[in-house]
Structures are given as structure tokens and as C-alpha cells.
Structure 1
Amino acid sequence: MEKCEEHAAHSRDIDRHDKRLDAHGGEIDDIRDCIVRLTALQEAHGAWQERADDRIAALEAKPAKRWETATNYLLTAVIGIVLGLIASQFGIN
């Protein structure tokens, strides 16, 4: 009789552990699915971030290009004026 009670206790414990194991298996599957989704989001964010950085760099470069263009025009005008003054000093009309 004693062995039957022990056997029943072991069976109950095994059943309880099996239920917990099944529950944890489901949780692990849920976590794995979550990791897959997070990885996809992270990859999408990385691509988006790259495009955003390129656009920001282009926007930040626009004022510098404008300033460089204005400086080039001003420098060309000053050089033209200086060459014109020099030419007029030598009598070249």
C-alpha cells in the first residue's frame, strides 16, 4: 500500500511538472516570436535611420553650399575688379 501512495505522489508530481513544462514551453515560444518581431523592427529602424541621416546631412549641407557659391561669386567679382583696375592703370581699355 505504501508503494502505491508513493507511486501516486510521483505521478501527481510528474503531472504537475509536465503542466509547468508545457506552460514554460508556450512562454518560450511567445518570447521567440517577440524576438523575431523586435529584430524585424530594429532592422527597419536601422534602414530608416540611415535614410534619415542622409537627408539630414543633405539639409545641413545646403547653407554651406549657398555660402560657398556666394563666396565664389564675390571672389570672382573682386578679382575681375582688381584685374580691371590693373588693366586701366596700364592703359588697356
Structure 2
Amino acid sequence: LEAQGIGTRVVSMPCWEIFEETDEAYRKRVLPAGPVRVAVEAGIRFGWDRWLFGERGRREKSGFVGMHGFGASAPAEELYRHFGITAEAVAEKVKSLL
């Protein structure tokens, strides 16, 4: 995305609860309002909407790349390919929302 001139911020959020407990000024610096937000999770979307279109995000400019159900079992590389959890899929999701 950066190579195509699309400004990008990657944020790792290992614990929603701890992030939510930080002060609002910090959360605004980490997740500023921007044109789009895309969550990437090696799991399902459940819980991500709070951070995708809450806190200055927008529902119509939010996307998710991840699993859409439970129960799949295979090596991570195979699951990521099967569910489309790839850098290419993330870039395409971002571009589709711009």
C-alpha cells in the first residue's frame, strides 16, 4: 500500500480490554480518524466492530480480513490461504474501501 502511495498505519492490539482502559488521548494517537479501517484476525470478526467503526471509525469504511466460522484445522499457512488472510487480501480490502 505504501509503495502505491496509500498511507498506512499498522496497529497490533493483543488485548482490547487493556487498550480500552488507556486514556482517550492515547487511543486517538494510536487509532486516529482516517479514510478506512481494516482489522486482520486469524479468527472471526466478533468484537472488532468496536474498533472498526467506533472511536472515530465509520461503518461504511470498515472491513475485516479473517475467518468467518469456527472449526477449521490445518497448519497456519494453509488456513491463512484458505480464509484469504494474506497481505494481498488486506491490500485489496483497503483499496476497495477507499
TM-score normalised to structure 2 length? 0.16
Q: Which of the pair has the greater relative contact order for Cα pairs under 8 Å at 6+ separation?
A: 2
TM-score normalised to structure 1 length? 0.17
Richer in helix (by share)? 1
Richer in strand (by share)? 2
Larger radius of gyration: 1
